[in-house]
Amino acid sequence: MNKDAFDGKTTGTTSAKLVFALAVTGGIAFWGIADTRGLSELAEAVVGFYFTSRGWFVMLTVSVLLIAAFVLALSPYGKIVLGKDGDRPEFSTSQWLSMLFAAGMGVGLLYWGSAEPITHFVLARDYGNEGQAAMRALFATNFHWGLHAWAIYAIVGMIIAYFSFRRDCPTLLSTPIQLVFGKRAWTRGVGWLSDVMAIVAIAIGLGGSVAMGVFQVQGGIESILGMSPAGLSLALPIFAVLCAAYVVPLLVSLDRGMSLMSQAAMAIAGALMIFVLLSGPTHYIMNAVVEQIGAYLSNVLQQGFVTYTFFDERVGGWFQSWTLTYMVWWLAWAPFVGVFIARISRGRTIREFVTGVILVPTAFSMAWFGTFGAAGFHDILRTPTGILAVTEKDPAYTSFFLLQSLQLPTLTSIATIVAAFLFIVTSVVSAAFVLGMFSSGGDLNPTRKVKLAWGVILGALGLVMILSGSIDAVKSIIALGALPFVFIVLLLLVCFLKALKAERVK
C-alpha cells in the first residue's frame, strides 16, 4: 500500500468531476422530461441484455459481499474501530439504527409490504398449491429485502468509514483505490470514474425512490377520499409539496433534521406493524412469521447462488425483473446509503457495524413483510375481499386496501401517508448530503448551497420517474444507472482487504 502516493487531499479534478457528473445527471433528467418513453425503453433494453448475459455475475457478487461481511465481523478484524482507537459513536444506537434504516429502505417497505408477496404469489401458485405458493412468495420477498441487500450497504459503508475515519482520507469512493494502489494513471482514471458513477447512481436511484413515494402517497389520498386514479393531476402537487418539505432539513445539521424525522418515521412504521398484527388475524400472522424465519435461515445462502437456469422463460423473466433488479437496485443505492451510514458510524467496531447494519434491519424487514404479507394472504386464502385484484391493477393501493379491512382505516391510512412522506424526505436529505460530500472533495459537512443544489437535481430526476408513470420503468432506469457499480464495489472490497492486512489486531 503506497500511502505516500496519497496526500489525503482531493486529486485536483473535483471541479471537472462535478461538472461532468452534473452534465450526465442533468442530461438524463432533461432527456427523461422531454422523452420519457424513449429513456424507459432504452433502460429496459440495456438492462434486459445485461441481465441475460451477466445475471450470474450479479448474484455471485452480492453473495461474495455477504460472506465477506460476516467473515470480517467474526474474525479478529471485527474488533477494529471505524475511527481512531478510543473514538466514541457520535449518535446513540437508536438514532443510528433509525437513520440508517430510513435512508436505506423506508418508503419501499410501505409500498411493497403486502403488494410484493402477493405479486410473487400469482406466479408461484402455478408451480404448486396455494399454501406452498404463499410461503415461496414470502421467502422471495425476504430474500430481496434481507441479508444480501444490507450486506451491499454494509460493505460500502464499512470501507468508506475505515478509510475516512481511521486513515484520515477524503470521504470518496476513489480514496481506497488510490491509497492502496498509489497514484498511477489507471488508479486516477478508475478512481475518477468511480466517483462520477457513484454520483450518477445516487441521483438516479434516489429519483426512483421519490417517484415510488409519490405514488404511495397518491394512492393513500385517493383511497381515503374515495377518488378514482387521478394520475399526474394529483402526483405533481404531491411532488411539489415534497420538494418544499425537504428544503428545511437540508439547512440544518444531521442531529436536528435527519435524525428527528427518521426516528418519527420509524416510530410510525413500527406502530403500524404492531397495529396490523393485533388488529388482524394475529395467530395466523404469527404462525406465518415464525415459519418464514425458519425457511429464510435455512435457504438464504443457497438462494444467493440460484439463477433459475433450468426453468421456463416465465420464471426466468420473473428472476430478471425482480431478484436481479433488486440486487442492482441496492447497488444503485449503495454509494449514498453506504457513505451516509459511514458518516454516522464513526467510533463503532466492524463487528458492531455489521450487526447493526445487516442483522437488525433484516430482522425488522422480515417482521414487516411477515405481518403485512400474511395479512394479505389471509385475505386471499381465507376471507377473499379482492386484494389480489387490487395488487394486479396497481400495487400502490394494496396497503391501503388492506388497512381498509381493519379497524381505524382512515387513521392508519393517514399514518401510512405521513410515514411515506417522512421516509421520502429523509432519503432525499441523506442523498443530497452525500452528494454534497462528493462535490466538496469529501467534506463531512458540505455547505447549505451545495446540498440545496443537489436537492434541486434530485427533484428533477424524481420528476422524470413520476412522468414515466410506471414502477417497472422506474426500476429499469435505476438499474441502468447502477450497472457499472457492480464492478466498482468488488474493487473497493479488494482494496479494503489489502488495507486490513496492515492492521495489527491484538
| 229 CB burial (10 A radius; 0-12, 13-18, 19+) | middle
Report the domain count for the chain. 1
* Lowest model confidence (mean pLDDT) among 168-172, 213-217, 244-248, 314-318: 244-248
Among candidate residues 273, 296, 264, the one with its CA nearest the CA of residue 372 = 273
The 8-class DSSP code of residue 306 comes to: -
Average pLDDT over every residue of 314-339? 84
Average pLDDT over every residue of 58-76? 93
* Residue owning grid cell 424465519: 293
Q: What is the pLDDT of residue 298?
A: 92
Average pLDDT over every residue of 468-489? 71
Residue with the larger pLDDT of the pair 60 and 395: 60
Domain presence at residue 504: no
Residue with the larger pLDDT of the pair 152 and 240: 152
Angle between helices 14-34 and 448-468 (to 10 degrees): 30
The answer to whether the Cα torsion of 276, 279, 280, 282 is positive or negative is positive
Domain presence at residue 86: no
Residue with the larger pLDDT of the pair 229 and 375: 375
Confidence of residue 47 (pLDDT cuts 50, 70, 90): confident
Confidence of residue 230 (pLDDT cuts 50, 70, 90): low
Q: What is the dihedral of CA 165, 170, 175, 178, to 10 degrees?
A: -110
Average pLDDT over every residue of 268-286? 92
* Lowest model confidence (mean pLDDT) among 163-167, 189-193, 235-239, 265-269: 189-193
Confidence of residue 121 (pLDDT cuts 50, 70, 90): very high
Enclosing domain of residue 331: 3-8+16-77+94-498
Domain presence at residue 465: yes
CB atoms within 10 A of CB 487: 14
CATH at residue 428: 1.20.1740
Among candidate residues 105, 212, 230, 231, the one with its CA nearest the CA of residue 471 = 212
The answer to whether the Cα torsion of 190, 193, 489, 136 is positive or negative is negative
Q: How far apart (Å, rounded) are the C-alpha atoms in residues 328 and 111?
A: 19
Domain presence at residue 199: yes
Is residue 503 predicted with pLDDT exceeding 90? no
Q: What is the pLDDT of residue 505?
A: 60
Is residue 284 predicted with pLDDT exceeding 90? yes
Segment of 71-75, 88-92, 496-500 carrying the highest mean pLDDT: 71-75
Q: What is the pLDDT of residue 11?
A: 42
Q: How far apart (Å, rounded) are the C-alpha atoms in residues 284 and 276?
A: 12
Q: How far apart (Å, rounded) are the C-alpha atoms in residues 28 and 297?
A: 40
DSSP class per residue in 422-473: HHHHHHHHHHHHHHHHHHTTS-SS--HHHHHHHHHHHHHHHHHHHHH--HHH
Q: How far apart (Å, rounded) are the C-alpha atoms in residues 4 and 14?
A: 20
| 13 CB burial (10 A radius; 0-12, 13-18, 19+) | middle
Is residue 167 predicted with pLDDT exceeding 80? yes
Average pLDDT over every residue of 342-355? 88
- Which amino acid does the sequence have at 463? L
182 dihedral zone (left: phi>0; alpha: psi -120 to 50; beta): left
Domain presence at residue 280: yes
Average pLDDT over every residue of 298-307? 92
Confidence of residue 136 (pLDDT cuts 50, 70, 90): very high
Q: What is the pLDDT of residue 475?
A: 67
Cell numbers standing for residue 90: 457520535
Q: How far apart (Å, rounded) are the C-alpha atoms in residues 498 and 389?
A: 53
CA distances, 362 to each of 148, 374, 461 (Å): 9, 17, 29
Domain presence at residue 335: yes
Confidence of residue 285 (pLDDT cuts 50, 70, 90): very high
Residue with the larger pLDDT of the pair 16 and 282: 282
Among candidate residues 343, 288, 335, the one with its CA nearest the CA of residue 90 = 343
pTM exceeds 0.95 for this model: no
Where are the alpha helices (H) located in 319-405, listed in sequence order?
325-343, 350-354, 360-381, 387-393, 398-404
Confidence of residue 473 (pLDDT cuts 50, 70, 90): low
What does the mean pLDDT of the chain come to? 81
CA distances, 122 to each of 119, 126, 314, 346 (Å): 5, 7, 12, 44
Q: What is the pLDDT of residue 12?
A: 45
Confidence of residue 15 (pLDDT cuts 50, 70, 90): low
Domain presence at residue 176: yes
Domain presence at residue 84: no
Q: What is the pLDDT of residue 255?
A: 52
